[in-house]
């Protein structure tokens, strides 16, 4: 199973990762980070296939995918 780690404090909530996730498991969280943005999170880690499209799309490199 893949493991996705998101550095929520650096995420600016651009939602580019959401648009490329084939399993549609990346969501915008209700909470705000220290910069005032709504960071993304993973709704169901067990559905992640480890494709790393989210990490490749992230302009700020805040997503890390491990297989």
Q: By residue range, what is the domain housing residue 53?
A: 3-66
In this prediction, residue 8 carries a pLDDT of 97
Interval 30-61: pLDDT, tens = 999 999 999 999 999 999 999 999 999 999 99
Q: ∠ CA 54-56-58 to the nearest 5 degrees?
A: 65
CATH, residue 45: 3.30.70.20
Question: Is the pTM of the predicted complex or chain greater than 0.95?
Answer: no
Domain total in the chain: 1
- How far CA 12 is from CA of 9, 19, 37, 47, 50, in Å, comes to 8, 15, 5, 24, 22
46: alpha, beta or left, given left = phi > 0 and alpha = psi -120 to 50? Answer: alpha
26 pairs with which residues across the strands? 42
The torsion region of residue 10 among left (phi > 0), alpha (psi -120 to 50) and beta comes to alpha
């Amino acid at each position: 199973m893949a493991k996705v780690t998101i550095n929520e404090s650096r995420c600016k909530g651009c939602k580019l990762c959401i648009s490329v996730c084939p399993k549609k498991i990346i969501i915008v969280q209700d909470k705000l980070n220290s910069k005032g943005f709504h960071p993304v999170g993973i709704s169901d880690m067990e559905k992640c296939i480890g494709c790393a499209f989210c990490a490749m799309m992230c302009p700020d490199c805040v997503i890390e995918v491990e297989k």
